[in-house]
């Protein structure tokens, strides 16, 4: 079995590798191939990874390449974790909207929109190569905005793509602590869009423990269960995705963001530190500083998905996948986030049904934004880009959409498709 | 034939009466019965109407009453044009939201929400009487917010209700001038919700003249076709409802409203003048000052609908009616605004199909707001009221929704259902 | 304006021409071009038509050609009325099924199936030429089986096709006599598939007169309203299409057909007589013998449709057209028969809704048969052909389907696509 | 935990009890209560069951009663296995249709129809008691026709009902032998209605082995895989339910049935033998003669379902349950047969999607028949009963439907609701 990692030069890759160690036990022989366009970073990461592998006593066959075709060749799984324009582009995504009193965030709102417009042309190019070189491989997409990228690939290519996000697995993890049960015993009856999911009910070994969870949350405010989330839970009677705060506490979040340094800046610092650490020829284990980088449990989610798809284990996993009627209020061909049952070949959607009225409007508006954003990028349509932003609940204004779009186009000249 | 007018004491009623004159020619004998809870206004209007009838040489049999049952008895048509709380409540609807930087308007946003919460309990009470006394009568609803009120009656009562609005007929009128063709030759391929409709195509005697209309609009900026509307037309390639400006130019509209006196104040002045004029025993015709009151062509729309429903004429009319699958992206049982074909008994919906992506999100979000508002009023649910506002594109914030809701509840103590 | 008639050598064409005379008054100048592959018949018909035109005092510009391209050139309307294999093929369609105790009929059951398989390849070829030569022309399809042929063209070509049948217009005509009102005042609330329609309600100038019609039918058994139809009306509370008898009185119909000579034989005789009459150089008017040929009011239906589509008149007409959600229990892209509103460019489907349970199963089964038959012809699939017949309510057996299919393939070697 | 068995006097009950022995290990303490209206049979079975329990060394707490309320009290699971009118009614169901050349079978066609009409009123009565006495109990329905009975209970009562059938589990068992893998490793991607299911794909531990299965079937004709089934597999490329033979080989089946004695007669004989055996005070184990009675693996299916619903195990099971959009071509509220995932409280439907065209018509026609049959019984409607039969693919004739219905009404005077 071979896993290709697109964007393998990321400082996060050591985390992924650790996940592969556990896979290796059950799937050996295992090849891992990193691909990146940044030669320098790719080299640093590769050297470090080789040391990690040596230390691990696994016999993972490792390679790194600047050639996408080489990485894709014979791949069974492809993990995509790229960031077009790097952290400097992210910095702009987080800064420009704030100038107009809009939320600046890399996956949601005008920032996420800019990220999508930079990324869609690139992933479509990559997909063409996958269609030719490894048409049967599964593409596991981490590339943000994950829902939009997964839908783009589902609608415009033949690539077998599933989108992953670490929000669901972190909630599962939190509830595991809260309820003191193993993670695998928990089932989240959750639905929505990437970064806009809602957990209606929580089950432990099939038993509905939702009321118990709500009660515990009511009593307890901790790092994970913030005051804001508590308030949301009490209002909508569902457990919200962390990102819902951007929608429900827009003004507060804008104020908060304006005060703090941009997250891109912080990540830049952490990355510098990590890259330096990784170059230490004596380091052959994941340094503890990696945990500050974000992306908790991403690696676990990927390993779980590969385990499911290879038939090592079977069960439910929350992923991004085309709707096909599971959620009746959203288009059939749109990508949604929800639990599906996976046993190797067999990926089975469940009936989710109607969206609760309390959140239906928000989800439908964001889905319209997402689909217009995709079409704007694919068709190079300025009008669609403008209406995508106008309809986004975090913009809700044609005038503001026009202003922020103009700045985003200017700042992303190198990356955006030419809109007209 | 008998027409009952609920809220007959309105200063607008003389306009309606003029419409009835034209009906009388074709439908005599005709009875008209006014009902109102304001004895004083009802008396003034009644006396004036009697003089108008005398002057008209029609033999309309006129009566006025403070008893709803009496008005409803033997009615074939019931026109509902009430305003709960009167202009002082409207003033609050227009003022309170502005304090929070939100749009204050009597049919849209938090103002329209408050209006809905005051009005729903009252129309449900009236509906109960209609169900008993005149179950076969058609209820023509002008009462605002018209879409919400029509949906409430459709979902919770057996009353045969159709909602009317003067926006569509005014657009038809404007296009009639613009294209220099009779109004009846124009067909608007329009869809959406009350005060949130879009005209996709314009036909004259079956010929698609949309491009011609767009061209004329591009060249011309007049009273009706404002700069803002021109911009919208160019962006969405559809002709917008006037109220769309509130959604697309939110900030500008808020600024504009803050500068001007509230519309409620203006209408109050006009009403005072009108009531004084109406008391002049020599006045037996509609005074020209009535035209400043707003509501242009409302009377014509009502007369058209009665003509259609009695079989005097047949054809298409744009009304508010339950969806039943006409618009596939909106719930089956929700009320939408669209053209239907009417020939007496036979009210036939057309297939509208999917909503254009450019406006789908906005329409779906407003529909979720509308349905939650109705359920909040019917179920007295504070949570639903809060989430209705939170999801409204003109609010888009739980914090703001909470603040404005708290003030609206306080200001409407006398009228709101007790939310908990 | 130009009308092309494909299959113009039919003995029925003089009837069509008479319809064109009335069109000419309102649409002149008018060209009519006949196309046929049978040179002899085309010549006889052409000569006779020229005399008719002369007599008519219209100035219709007439031509006849063996070249399809020539006929299609500049056509605004194309009328298709072809019969592949002629009456000898029809004779087989009516004979072979009877040998297996199955109904033999040229549009329904195994006979209609064979007709479809002969005809689909030919109309697809014609459609390719229309797409190239006259892409904006309307194709009015009379070619049987009309529903299947219209669906084939709708799904596999870009031709603007509408299917016509004379069943609806004849019912309208019968009810016109029964109720003593003009045909145009009657609206049939009807739905279903070609030769499998049901009229749920009858309206006269918008007034529901269904109960009155049912009462009259109960009291009266005449040529049109047979004992069988009366029984059906009483059972399903809807007015049936004549062809429903094949489904509900299968055994009786089979017995009846076995006793009588095949209809193809009769039509052959009539055609011979007509062709002889047409050759009389003194004949310049439709002979009364033409009325025995069947196809009553076909010409009127065509003229009505052309009048609607050119904007000469507007209103409802019952046609075969893609469903698009009008009937919610049938596929979106399937062709159904129902009233649509037509005003020139604007062809507007109405909401029909759910099928009544009493007939839903039969309609759905026949639609599955129709769609499989089309796919069998297009994909040359023996399996699909076999399952089409197996599912047809008039076959309902894999064994019988296999037997009859084998004979039909043998008898239609010259015409069928090669199934495998 | 308590299990109530309605129709506990059945000679099949010892088989059920054996299943309970295995449950007892994991669910003790366990109560079992038999209810029947036949005192004599109930007594014989009870005495025998007591000896079996004694022998089993389980401590199942056993009771038997003629009072339904007593049996239902505190029940967690209710198994319904009743036959209204007993074997003499079944004999008529199998005989009367044959007189009209129609298939006589106890679950399908006119025989199944009669069975439904006898049974529906009784199960609705039982359901009323369940709603009152044990509203939280799961009702596991074996009572035939199982799909119709489950849909009746789902649509007209609040009872938590799931329908079981032994066809799916027997196929799983056969494939287990064929492929030489444990039953639990096999997943059947199957869909349809009770006794009209189709298995599209077969998975072993998530791997699609459908082609392998088809190949094996092609090579092999055995008891289970008959020549007829082989033919069906080759034609529809799906694995059919055994009962499909009635639809596809109607004539052959009728001939076959006419030659053989009615199955009711055979079962009667076996039952007599069994009842005699059961009365032997030395018998304390299931006699081998029980296996001739039919109903293989029924007990296993029931034990599996109880294991799933109590959380003893989790996974997929093929059951009859309301559709809720799983199969998009069938009504939302209709009952279908398909695999669902069960983990205690959580019963999760999967997306099945569109029906394959090759079988869509047949399934839809049978579903229309089923729904009309239910409504005929509930509303006592003769017209609906008549149209149910007319639309059934095994009748397909109004005349035949009328004749057979008349005889069935006469023969079932004691049991049918009074149709009018």
Q: What is the pLDDT along chain D (420 residues), one digit of tens a residue?
A: 999 999 999 999 999 999 999 999 898 899 999 999 999 999 999 999 999 999 999 999 999 999 999 999 999 999 999 999 999 999 999 999 999 999 988 899 999 999 999 999 999 999 999 999 999 999 999 999 999 999 999 999 999 999 999 999 999 999 999 999 999 999 999 999 999 999 999 999 999 999 999 998 888 766 667 888 889 999 999 999 989 999 999 999 999 999 999 999 999 999 999 999 999 999 999 998 888 787 789 999 999 999 999 999 999 999 999 999 999 999 999 999 999 999 998 999 999 999 999 999 999 999 999 999 999 999 999 999 999 999 999 999 999 999 999 999 999 999 999 999
* Section C1-12 average pLDDT: 96
Could you read off the pLDDT of B247-262 as tens digits, one per residue? 999 999 999 999 999 9
pLDDT band, very low/low/confident/very high, at B300 (cuts 50, 70, 90): very high
Q: What is the pLDDT of residue D345?
A: 87
Q: How far apart are the C-alpha atoms of C157 and C128, rounded to whole Å?
A: 7
| Closest chain C residue to B340, measured at CA | C350
User: Which among D322, D364, B188 has a CA at the least distance from the CA of C334?
Assistant: D364
Of A243, A246, A278, A369, which one is the catalytic site residue? Answer: A243
Own/partner pairs, A245-250, CB within 8 angstroms, 24+ separation: A246/A103, A246/A105, A246/A108, A246/A109, A246/A394, A247/A196, A247/A362, A247/A393, A247/A394, A247/B396, A247/B397, A248/B390, A248/B397, A248/B398, A248/B399, A249/B397, A249/B398, A249/B399, A250/A103, A250/A394, A250/B396, A250/B397, A250/B399
With CB atoms and an 8 Å threshold, state whether D358 touches C372.
yes
Tokens of B23: 């009906």
* Section A300-311 average pLDDT: 96
Strand partners, B190: B199
Residue D258, preceding peptide bond in cis (omega within 30° of 0): no
DSSP string, B234-261: HHHSSEEPTTHHHHHSHHHHHHHHHHSP
How close, in Å, is residue C249 to chain D by CA atoms? 6
Burial code (b: 16+ CB inside 10 Å, e: under 16) for B6-30 equals bbbbbbbbbbbbbbbbebbeebeeb
Q: Given a cut of 70, is residue C297 above it in pLDDT?
A: yes
- A358, A386, A397 member nearest B251 (Cβ): A397
Q: Given a cut of 70, is residue A232 above it in pLDDT?
A: yes
Q: What is the pLDDT of residue A224?
A: 67
Q: How far apart are the C-alpha atoms of C369 and A167, rounded to whole Å?
A: 48
List C-alpha distances in Å: C194 to C143, C190, C198, C328: 12, 11, 10, 17
pLDDT band, very low/low/confident/very high, at A376 (cuts 50, 70, 90): very high
Q: What is the pLDDT of residue A291?
A: 84
Percent of chain B with pLDDT over 70: 99
How close, in Å, is residue C368 to chain D by CA atoms? 5
User: Which among A281, A277, A273, A276 has a CA at the least distance from the CA of A51?
Assistant: A281
Residue C81, preceding peptide bond in cis (omega within 30° of 0): no
User: Which among A403, D374, C173 has a CA at the least distance from the CA of D366?
Assistant: D374
Q: What is the pLDDT of residue B123?
A: 98
| Average per-residue pLDDT for chain C | 95
Q: What is the pLDDT of residue B222?
A: 67
Q: Residues C369, C392: contact at Cβ < 8 Å?
A: yes
User: Which among A356, A357, A391 has a CA at the least distance from the CA of A373?
Assistant: A391
Q: What are phi and psi of A78, to 5 degrees?
A: -125, 125
Could you read off the pLDDT of C390-419 as tens digits, one per residue? 999 999 999 999 999 999 999 999 999 999
Q: Is A55 on the interface with D (CB under 8 A)?
A: no
How close, in Å, is residue B93 to chain A by CA atoms? 21
Task: Mutate one of C206, C314, C328, C338 to test the B interface: name it (highest B CB count within 10 A).
Answer: C206
* Section C359-364 average pLDDT: 98
Q: How far apart are the C-alpha atoms of C200 and C90, rounded to whole Å?
A: 32
Q: Is C326 on the interface with B (CB under 8 A)?
A: yes
User: Which among D107, D86, D103, D81 has a CA at the least distance from the CA of D16?
Assistant: D81
Q: How far apart are the C-alpha atoms of C75 and D372, rounded to whole Å?
A: 49
Task: Mutate one of C181, C202, C346, C353 to test the B interface: name it (highest B CB count within 10 A).
Answer: C346
Q: Strand, helix or coil at D341?
A: strand
Q: Given a cut of 80, is residue C223 above it in pLDDT?
A: no
Pairing between β-strand D186-193 and β-strand D196-204 as defined by DSSP bridges: antiparallel
Pairing between β-strand D2-6 and β-strand D31-35 as defined by DSSP bridges: parallel
Q: Is B207 on the interface with C (CB under 8 A)?
A: yes
Q: How far apart are the C-alpha atoms of D382 and D376, rounded to whole Å?
A: 7
Pairing between β-strand A196-204 and β-strand A186-193 as defined by DSSP bridges: antiparallel
* Section B6-27 average pLDDT: 94
Tokens of B92: 């609050």
With CB atoms and an 8 Å threshold, state whether B345 touches C207.
yes
Cβ neighbour number for residue B151 with a 10 Å cutoff: 30
C386 class by beta-carbon count within 10 Å (0-12 exposed, 13-18 middle, 19+ buried):
buried
Q: Strand, helix or coil at A355?
A: coil
Could you read off the pLDDT of B21-40 as tens digits, one per residue? 999 989 989 999 999 999 99
Q: What is the pLDDT of residue D289?
A: 87
* In chain A, where the domains are located: 2-164+264-309
| CA torsion, ordered C352, C353, C359, C362, to nearest 10 deg | 90
Tokens of A98: 């704030």
Q: What is the pLDDT of residue A293?
A: 80
Q: Is D381 on the interface with C (CB under 8 A)?
A: no
Among all chains, which residue has been given the structure tokens 């004739």? D397
Chains C and B touch (3+ CB pairs under 8 A): yes
Non-local (6+) Cβ contacts of B176 within 8 A are B182, B183, B186
Q: How far apart are the C-alpha atoms of D2 and D18, rounded to whole Å?
A: 16
Q: What is the pLDDT of residue B15?
A: 94
Q: Given a cut of 80, is residue B223 above it in pLDDT?
A: no
Distance of CA D301 to the CA centre of its chain: 11
Q: Is D205 on the interface with A (CB under 8 A)?
A: yes
Q: How far apart are the C-alpha atoms of D34 and A330, rounded to whole Å?
A: 48
* Section B220-230 average pLDDT: 76
| Average per-residue pLDDT for chain D | 95
| Average per-residue pLDDT for chain B | 95
Residues of B in contact with C343 (CB under 8 A): 187, 203, 205-206
The yes or no reply on domain C2-164+264-309 and CATH 3.40.50.720 is: yes
Tokens of B228: 């803002």
Cβ neighbour number for residue A285 with a 10 Å cutoff: 12
Q: How far apart are the C-alpha atoms of A273 and A276, rounded to whole Å?
A: 5
Could you read off the pLDDT of D161-215 as tens digits, one per residue? 999 999 999 999 999 999 999 999 999 999 999 999 999 999 999 999 999 999 9
Q: What are phi and psi of D61, to 5 degrees?
A: -90, 110
Q: DSSP letter at B269?
A: H
Tokens of C10: 């039919």
| Average per-residue pLDDT for chain A | 95
- What would you report as the CA-atom Rg of chain A, rounded to the nearest whole angstrom? 21
pLDDT band, very low/low/confident/very high, at A354 (cuts 50, 70, 90): very high
Q: What is the pLDDT of residue D371?
A: 98
Could you read off the pLDDT of C98-137 as tens digits, one per residue? 999 999 888 999 999 999 999 999 999 999 999 999 999 9
Q: What is the pLDDT of residue D376?
A: 98
Q: How far apart are the C-alpha atoms of D268 and D276, rounded to whole Å?
A: 12
Cβ neighbour number for residue D62 with a 10 Å cutoff: 18
Strand partners, A188: A202
Q: Given a cut of 80, is residue B220 above it in pLDDT?
A: no
Q: What is the pLDDT of residue A222?
A: 67
| Closest chain D residue to C235, measured at CA | D383
pTM of model > 0.90: yes
Assign residue D380 a region: left if phi > 0, alpha if psi is -120 to 50, beta otherwise? left
Q: What is the pLDDT of residue D100?
A: 96
Percent of chain C with pLDDT over 90: 91
pLDDT band, very low/low/confident/very high, at B224 (cuts 50, 70, 90): low
Q: Given a cut of 90, is residue C296 above it in pLDDT?
A: no
Q: What is the pLDDT of residue D222?
A: 67
User: Which among A391, A379, A388, A390 has a CA at the least distance from the CA of A418?
Assistant: A379
How close, in Å, is residue D135 to chain C by CA atoms? 31
Q: What is the pLDDT of residue A294?
A: 76
Q: Is A346 on the interface with D (CB under 8 A)?
A: yes
Q: What is the pLDDT of residue C118?
A: 98
Cβ neighbour number for residue B286 with a 10 Å cutoff: 17
Q: How far apart are the C-alpha atoms of B250 and B198, rounded to whole Å?
A: 18
The Cβ-side half-sphere exposure at C287, using a 13 Å CA radius, reads 20
Q: How far apart are the C-alpha atoms of C19 and C28, rounded to whole Å?
A: 14
Q: How far apart are the C-alpha atoms of B71 and B7, rounded to whole Å?
A: 11
Q: Strand, helix or coil at C174?
A: helix
Q: Residues A245, A229: contact at Cβ < 8 Å?
A: yes
Q: Residues C394, C247: contact at Cβ < 8 Å?
A: yes
Q: Strand, helix or coil at B104?
A: coil
Non-local (6+) Cβ contacts of A77 within 8 A are A1, A2, A3, A4, A137, A138, A140, A306, A309
Q: Given a cut of 80, is residue B221 above it in pLDDT?
A: no
Q: What is the pLDDT of residue D116?
A: 98
Tokens of D231: 């033919």
The Cβ-side half-sphere exposure at A340, using a 13 Å CA radius, reads 27
Q: Is A337 on the interface with B (CB under 8 A)?
A: no
Q: DSSP letter at D405?
A: H
| Closest chain C residue to B309, measured at CA | C206
H-state helical runs in D165-297: 167-179, 210-219, 227-236, 244-248, 250-259, 263-278
Percent of chain A with pLDDT over 70: 99
Q: Given a cut of 90, is residue A217 above it in pLDDT?
A: no
User: Which among C108, C80, C94 has a CA at the least distance from the CA of C373?
Assistant: C108
């Amino acid at each position: 079995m071979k896993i290709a990692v697109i964007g393998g030069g990321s400082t996060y890759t050591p985390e992924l590798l650790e996940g592969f160690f556990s896979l290796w036990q059950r799937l050996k022989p295992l090849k891992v191939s990193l691909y990146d366009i940044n030669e320098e970073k790719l080299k640093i990461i590769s050297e470090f990874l080789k040391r990690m592998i040596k230390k691990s006593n696994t016999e993972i066959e490792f390679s790194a390449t600047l050639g996408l075709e080489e990485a894709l060749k014979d791949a069974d799984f492809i993990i995509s974790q790229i960031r077009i324009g790097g952290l400097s582009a992210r910095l702009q995504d987080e800064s420009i909207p704030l100038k107009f009193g809009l939320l600046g965030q890399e996956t949601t709102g005008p920032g996420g929109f800019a990220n999508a417009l930079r990324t869609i042309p690139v992933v479509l190019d990559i997909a063409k190569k996958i269609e030719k070189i490894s048409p049967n491989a599964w593409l596991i997409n981490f590339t943000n905005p994950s829902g939009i990228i997964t839908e783009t690939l589902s609608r415009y290519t033949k690539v077998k793509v599933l989108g992953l996000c670490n929000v669901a697995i972190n909630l599962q993890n939190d509830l595991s602590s809260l309820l003191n049960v193993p993670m695998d015993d928990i089932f989240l009856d959750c639905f929505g869009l990437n970064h806009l999911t809602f957990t209606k009910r929580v089950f432990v070994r099939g038993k509905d423990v939702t009321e118990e969870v709500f009660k515990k949350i009511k009593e307890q405010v901790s790092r994970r269960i913030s005051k804001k989330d508590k308030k949301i839970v009490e209002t909508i009677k569902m457990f919200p995705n962390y990102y819902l705060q951007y929608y429900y506490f827009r003004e507060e979040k804008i104020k908060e963001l304006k005060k703090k340094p941009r997250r891109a800046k912080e990540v830049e610092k952490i990355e510098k530190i990590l890259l330096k650490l990784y170059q230490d020829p004596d380091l052959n284990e994941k340094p503890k500083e990696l945990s500050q980088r974000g992306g908790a449990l991403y690696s676990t989610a990927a390993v779980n998905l590969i385990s499911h798809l290879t038939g090592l284990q079977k069960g439910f996993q929350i992923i991004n996948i085309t709707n096909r009627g599971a959620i009746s209020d959203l288009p059939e061909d749109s990508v949604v986030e929800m639990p599906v049952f996976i046993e190797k070949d067999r990926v089975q959607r469940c009936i989710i049904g109607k969206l609760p009225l309390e959140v239906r409007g928000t989800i439908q508006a964001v889905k319209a934004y997402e689909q217009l954003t995709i079409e704007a990028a694919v068709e190079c349509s300025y009008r669609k880009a403008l209406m995508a932003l106008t309809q986004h609940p975090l913009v809700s204004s044609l005038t503001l959409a026009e202003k922020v779009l103009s700045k985003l186009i200017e700042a992303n000249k190198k990356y955006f498709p030419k809109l007209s």
